Amino acid sequence: MVKLVSLIGLIVLLTLGIAKPFIGHHDWNGVFYSQIARNYLKDGLETGLGQMTSPGNYYTHYPPLFTWLLALDFKFLGVSDVSARLLPVMLTIFSFILLVKITDSLVPLLLALTPMIRYFSQMPSQEALIIFLSLLVVYFYRQKRARALLWTVAALGWSGWAGYFLIPLLWLHAKFFTPKFKPVLLKAGAILVGTFGLHLLHTYLLTGSLTGGGIFDALLLRLNLYPALGRVEPELAGQFKWLNYLVKEFHTLNIYYTSTVLLLAGLGIAKLKRSFEAGLVLMLLAWGVTYPLIFSNVTFVHEYFNLFFWPGLALAISYLFKHGPHFAKATWGKLLLLILAVVVFKERLPFLNALKSTAAFKPGYELGRQVNQNSGPGETVNLSADEDFIDVQGIFVEYYADRVIIWDNSHND
């Protein structure tokens, strides 16, 4: 009964404000991926199942599984901001359910109260899918269900790059705790190599090049290698210094996950002893570090890539409650968990409210809605705007207009 009430509370918490248009912080992702998903419905197999942003142009930086699922979402629920946000929310809820099953505890739900989850769980992007499939892999690993694990790894390979970092870490865990399972994880690694090869082949079929759509340039950016190669520096690369990055990461984790959660996770880490369970805690924490460490520049710019930390933090706190002084058995342990939930909920509430009230892209949204209401389906609309407006607001205008937009900025010449 307690778990059912907690699940209902989780659903209510993560769906608050789900009808907000894509006008706020990092809502570029929402319109970008929703536009791709809508193109699947409009153009069908003419897209080649590629992430077509406009006729003849494809986004190849990630495999397409998330946008395929988003297109199915739109097919059954209709194209709307609510249905777009509902997909990552449901994936996040499924991830929490998996962690509750893995830990046999409601403690992981503490993380749902943090700004990181309460805000970014509604962001349509690959992260929620990657985390869900990665936790499903861990769940099947604990169950020693090899076939289910391998099928899930195949799906993980089509979801995004962070999932690729999980399997080597799981292999290390198996080396120390379940050595007989290492061959299965080697097969999982081979599957990931295969899915990456298929992604490159798909990219070639769509663009005529294995690195079409700028995938290689994106890789250089995320590896922070642009300055070293003497190329034009994109997105704050010139400002990147490792000390600045580490300081920013500390503040980001402290604000988005709260000081309380980080302190509890730290106490949990201090309690770790050599065991299968403790190894999983370290493995998932290490997994959270891999993306910010390897793709440092993009995490420096986009703080939501720190989402991969939350499963490890949840497991560390669960370990603390299970192995701390009388946490698991004492009656006051449940009361303490409730008090901590209130503390975490309130700790960064003003910051969270500020995040939710952001509306930087409202001008593009409003213009797009006006165009939609004053033109017919399939109509081509000519708009005039300065280059800065087009660069920042243009994609929002085009998405909410749902029309072919021809931009004119010649008055600035």
- Domain boundary assignment for the chain: 2-356, 362-412
What's the pLDDT at 251? 95
What pTM, to 2 d.p., does this model score? 0.94
What's the pLDDT at 211? 85
What's the pLDDT at 165? 96
CA dihedral of 140, 146, 148, 149, whole degrees rounded to 10: 60
What's the pLDDT at 236? 54
Can you tell me the distance from the alpha carbon of 215 to that of 160, in angstroms, rounded to the nearest whole number? 13
What's the pLDDT at 13? 95
Report whether 60 contacts 47 (CB < 8 A).
Answer: no
**Chain-centre distance for alpha carbon 92:** 9
Looking only at the bridges linking them, the beta strands covering 404-408 and 380-384 are parallel
Alpha-carbon separation of residue 308 from 15, 72, 153, 371 (angstroms) = 21, 25, 17, 38
Question: What are the pLDDT tens digits along the chain (413 aa)?
Answer: 778 888 899 999 999 999 999 999 999 999 999 999 999 999 988 899 999 998 889 999 999 999 999 999 999 999 999 999 999 999 999 999 999 999 999 999 999 999 999 999 999 999 999 999 999 999 999 999 999 999 999 999 999 999 999 999 999 999 999 999 999 999 999 999 999 999 999 999 999 998 888 888 778 777 777 655 555 554 555 567 888 889 999 999 999 999 999 999 999 999 999 999 999 999 999 999 999 999 988 898 899 999 999 999 999 999 999 887 665 556 677 788 889 999 999 999 999 999 999 999 999 999 999 999 999 988 899 998 898 899 999 999 999 999 988 988 776 55
**Which residues have a Cβ under 8 Å from the Cβ of 237 and sit 6 or more positions away?**
221, 224, 226, 227, 297
